[in-house]
Amino acid sequence: MSIAAHIKNELQLPTSVVQGYLQDLSDEDLMRRPVENANHIAWQLGHLIVAEHDLNNMVCPDSMPALPEGFAEKHSKETASSDNPGDFCTKDEYLKYMDEQRAGTLALLDRLSDEELQVPAPEHLKMFGGTVGAVIAGQSAHWMMHAGQWVIVRRQLGKEALF
C-alpha cells in the first residue's frame, strides 16, 4: 500500500465520525459549549477546516481549494469567545466547506508520490509531523481530537453516543 493510500484510509474514520456526530445537531446546537470557556462546535469546525487548508498549503503550496472570503478570520483565536451565531456559519455551510477541503486533501494525495510524501516538513511544522505525509496524515488526529469534545454536547442534549 502506498503512503497516500494509507493516509486516505486514516482520513475515513474522522470523516465518518464528524458526519455522524453532526447529523442530528442543529445550527443552535453548534453554538453550545461543552464546558465553560471551551470552544463551541461551530468555531471548532471552522478552525479544523482552516487548519486542513493551511497545513496542506504549507507543505504543498497552492494545493488546496480556496476558502470563502473572510472564513479564516471568522475562526481565528480572537473569535473563539463569540457566542453570536451571526459570527459563524450554518451546519450545512460547514459540511460543504469541510467536504471541499477534504476533496482537496484527497486530490493532493492522488498527486503525491511516496517520495514526495517522505520529504521533510518545513521546520516550523515539525511539531505536526516530520514529513509532508505526516503533516497531511495529522489531519485525522486533529479532527478526532475535536470531535471527541462534541460527544459531551451530544450527551448534554440527550443525543445518542453513536460510536
Looking at residue 66, the DSSP 8-state letter turns out to be P
For each of the chain's 163 residues, which pLDDT tens digit applies? 999 999 999 999 999 999 999 999 999 999 999 999 999 999 999 999 999 999 999 999 999 999 999 999 999 999 999 999 999 999 999 999 999 999 999 999 999 999 999 999 999 999 999 999 999 999 999 999 999 999 999 999 999 877 7
Do 91 and 26 touch, CB atoms closer than 8 A?
yes
Q: What is the pLDDT of residue 60?
A: 97
Which CATH class name applies to 3-156? Answer: mainly alpha
Indicate the domain borders of the chain.
3-156
Total-model pTM: 0.96
Q: What is the pLDDT of residue 31?
A: 98
SS3 103: helix
Secondary structure of 16-38 as H, E, C letters? HHHHHHHCCCCCCHHHCCCCCCC
Gap between the Cα atoms of 156 and 139, Å rounded: 27
Q: What is the pLDDT of residue 160?
A: 84
Q: What is the pLDDT of residue 43?
A: 98
Do 46 and 94 touch, CB atoms closer than 8 A?
yes
Best CA proximity match to 128, nearest among 107, 109, 115, 145: 145
